[in-house]
Structure 1
Amino acid sequence: MAAPLHPDCLTLLEMIRASGRQPLEAMETGPARAQYAAGRLVLQPPPPDVAETRDLRLPSGIAMRLYRPQGSRAEEVLPCLVFAHGGGWVFGDLATHDHLARSLCNASGCAVLAVDYRLAPEHPFPAAIDDYAEAIAHAAAHASGLGIDPTRLAVGGDSAGGNLAAVAALMARDGRLPALRLQLLLYPVTDMAQGHDSHARFTSGLPLTAAGMRWFRDRYAPEPASWADWRASPLRAAELSGTAPAFVLTVGHDPLCDEGCDYARRLEREGVPVSHLHVAGLLHGALTMCAVIRPALDLIAMAGLALRRGLA
């Protein structure tokens, strides 16, 4: 039996009920995106100040935003997290995850390079991982102009972004991307088959349910043949050994809970140093709802500390 939801999560669920919000599976992509973007104004605190932000573009045209933490000097060469936002590969952009990116930047003392990768269904798998990989390679190749240290790079993200980060860590292990010092996986998607028990446990009453995850998968990876591809399902990679040390966050009220826990256990079994934090009473998406779910601020601080230590 799952642990009880934290009172702040119960407040969030009551807010959702009062708003009359439709479940994802009842919505078309455009209105669902607009609903997600509008939620930021209610669910997130004002963004914290950082020392600098810089809007950039990859040669392909993909937008990025570079953050430098409070207290850093303009000439200081910093370690860097290349960050992929969540949103089921369908939602999200630099604005929806600005608070999280800034908070991780300040908590870690590292630069954060956030990537506005292409979204599905207009750009299905593997477009998102292709864009994210391009950003990581660009960060290493142009490190001096960005004020970052190419030998101290991390990848990370929440939910779908955690999926992209796990895939990127495998690519770096295989020499397809620059070497990494850490992978920061925040309630990640690791298996497109969606066969873990937590998908059967959480079918209603939460912001993300099993049906909602199927809605996202139908847009990002509509071909079942792609679900076994490790670039979509890193849990299905033949080997995880040799990837960068990992910080993995899972939460108890989440259809992704069991696959995230399985990924952390498998990393550890295969010799990868892992810090796995499981928070039983929280729900999926808490890190971008911390104006309501206040314990999420502590989780962001803990993730920032993991980055600080991993990139020291």
Structure 2
Amino acid sequence: MKEYEQALLDELQQKTITIKNNGIDVIFKPSPGEDRPGYLDPRELNIMKEHWAGNMQQEPPKEPIPMEVLIPIMREFMGFANRNLNTVEIHTKYEELKESGNTVGLWRYYPRKSEKNRKRPAVVFIHGGGWIGGSVYTVENFCRLLAELIDGVVFNVDYSLAPEKPYPNGLNDNYYAVKHVYDHAEEYGIDPDKITVAGDSAGGNYTAAVCLKAREEGTPKIALQALIYPGVAIGDASVPGYEWSEDLFEISEEQKEIIKGCLMLGRPAKDASSDPMSGCYITNKEDMYNPYVSPMMAKSHADLPRALLFGAEFDGLRIQTEFYAKQLSDDGVPVTTFRYKGMTHAFIDKIGIVPQAEDLCIEIAKAIKEL
């Protein structure tokens, strides 16, 4: 059961405006109950105060924490308890794939009543977690709701994590998972012309990279890519015209300290190895300039699938998200871009807790129904 009134979701659906940023249209979603610019969404703020504000007051460690100790701690704190919003019976099945050379778990969800339809749309979802963590379980309720909304099949990939399995393991796991779904479309009862790849954060990075790889390989066919606050540039990977600055965020004085703490992701760094997430994912510094690691670096984004890009206003990755939307658009890819006022990174993890997560799920479903 959701923890908000339907009226809040209705407002998100009905009271959007379109703003211009860097030459592209951005659909700006409201923050129900908070119209002032530069302020966090009230539900997001309450969650932060309840769960993390106390931790922010702790003294930083005096000595660096060894990576073998830090990674399990980071994994433990990823994700958020969320809610099942399904109103119909959803079947869940599991299998394991070996095409990438790793054992990759593949969960799938679909409404029981849709089984007779052998041409259902499908989504392959790639969870976030900074390449080192995250879980299929965190995004399971999001995937299950999406399956209901599209009356189709949603696949949830349990791919390899760094540092145990660094690049290109995760990319290959996800690419071959999408290819497996495409190659076995008839067995799954899905339409091979209506396959969407979607992912959040590092999963958005993988989604963009999988689409680039599919274009180069000529298979699988991907109809739509949905990039949810994706990381599309690692370290100091950059192209002409891209700029990251705190000045690009409108921040209220009252909430300045807490909001600035939400803007750590996406900051350029000369050495990606200094970041415990991307530094575990790539073992060769030069890999951060590889388009399969930093999709922003691709020489061309032409002939990629139609794209949806979703950003949170107070997420350091918002700058990358909207710049990548421009790159795609400039190269002729049909793009729709959303920005959620007052929200921070990883908000789909809170499905059923904040209405924006459900709204985002609805927007993906709308686009899939138009395929």
**Alignment pair present for 1:17 and 2:57:** no
CA displacement at 1:82 relative to structure 2: 1.1
Percent sequence identity over matched residues?
A: 28
- TM-score (norm. length: structure 1): 0.88
Q: Which structure 1 segments of 5+ residues have no match?
A: none
Alignment partner, residue 245 of structure 1: 306
Query: Any idea what SS the aligned residue of 2:327 has?
Result: helix
Any residues of structure 2 matched to 1:296-311 within 5 Å, and which?
A: 296-310=357-371
Query: Any idea what SS the aligned residue of 2:277 has?
Result: helix
Cα pair 1:156 1:162 within 8 Å, conserved: yes
Alignment partner, residue 175 of structure 1: 217
**Alignment pair present for 1:140 and 2:182:** yes
Any residues of structure 2 matched to 1:66-77 within 5 Å, and which?
A: 66-69=108-111, 71-77=113-119
Alignment partner, residue 264 of structure 2: 210
Do the aligned partners of residues 223 and 151 (structure 1) sit closer, same or farther apart at CA in structure 2, a change above 3 Å counting?
A: same
Do the aligned partners of residues 63 and 199 (structure 1) sit closer, same or farther apart at CA in structure 2, a change above 3 Å counting?
A: farther
Alignment partner, residue 113 of structure 1: 155
Do the aligned partners of residues 217 and 156 (structure 1) sit closer, same or farther apart at CA in structure 2, a change above 3 Å counting?
A: same
Alignment partner, residue 355 of structure 2: 294
Alignment partner, residue 38 of structure 2: 3
* Aligned residue type for 1:210: M
Larger Rg: 2
CA displacement at 1:81 relative to structure 2: 1.0
Cα pair 1:199 1:256 within 8 Å, conserved: no
Cα pair 1:162 1:188 within 8 Å, conserved: yes
Query: Any idea what SS the aligned residue of 2:336 has?
Result: strand
Alpha-carbon separation, structure 2, partners of 1:165 and 1:158? 8
CA displacement at 1:210 relative to structure 2: 2.0
| Structure number with higher helix proportion | 1
Any residues of structure 2 matched to 1:1-312 within 5 Å, and which?
A: 3-17=38-52, 20=55, 28-36=70-78, 39-41=79-81, 44-46=82-84, 48=86, 50-59=89-98, 60-69=102-111, 71-193=113-235, 196-198=243-245, 205=258, 209-210=263-264, 214-310=275-371
Do the aligned partners of residues 124 and 81 (structure 1) sit closer, same or farther apart at CA in structure 2, a change above 3 Å counting?
A: same
CA displacement at 1:273 relative to structure 2: 0.4
Alpha-carbon separation, structure 2, partners of 1:2 and 1:227? 35
Cα pair 2:38 2:342 within 8 Å, conserved: yes
The one-character-per-residue Cα deviations of 1:5-41 (angstroms, maximum 9, x if unpaired) are 11111112101335537799977111221222xx533
Stretches (4+) displaced over 4 A? 21-27, 198-204, 206-209
Cα pair 2:265 2:316 within 8 Å, conserved: no
Do the aligned partners of residues 74 and 93 (structure 1) sit closer, same or farther apart at CA in structure 2, a change above 3 Å counting?
A: farther
Give the paired residue count. 306
Alpha-carbon separation, structure 1, partners of 2:137 and 2:343? 24
Cα pair 1:56 1:64 within 8 Å, conserved: yes
Alpha-carbon separation, structure 2, partners of 1:82 and 1:2? 35
Do the aligned partners of residues 200 and 2 (structure 1) sit closer, same or farther apart at CA in structure 2, a change above 3 Å counting?
A: same
Alpha-carbon separation, structure 2, partners of 1:50 and 1:208? 37
The one-character-per-residue Cα deviations of 1:230-288 (angstroms, maximum 9, x if unpaired) are 00000100000100100111111111111110000111111000111112321111111
Q: Which structure 2 segments of 5+ residues have no match?
A: 1-35, 250-255, 268-274
- TM-score (norm. length: structure 2): 0.75
Alpha-carbon separation, structure 2, partners of 1:189 and 1:17? 23
Greater alpha carbon shift after TM alignment, 223-232 vs 103-112: 103-112
Query: Any idea what SS the aligned residue of 1:172 has?
Result: helix
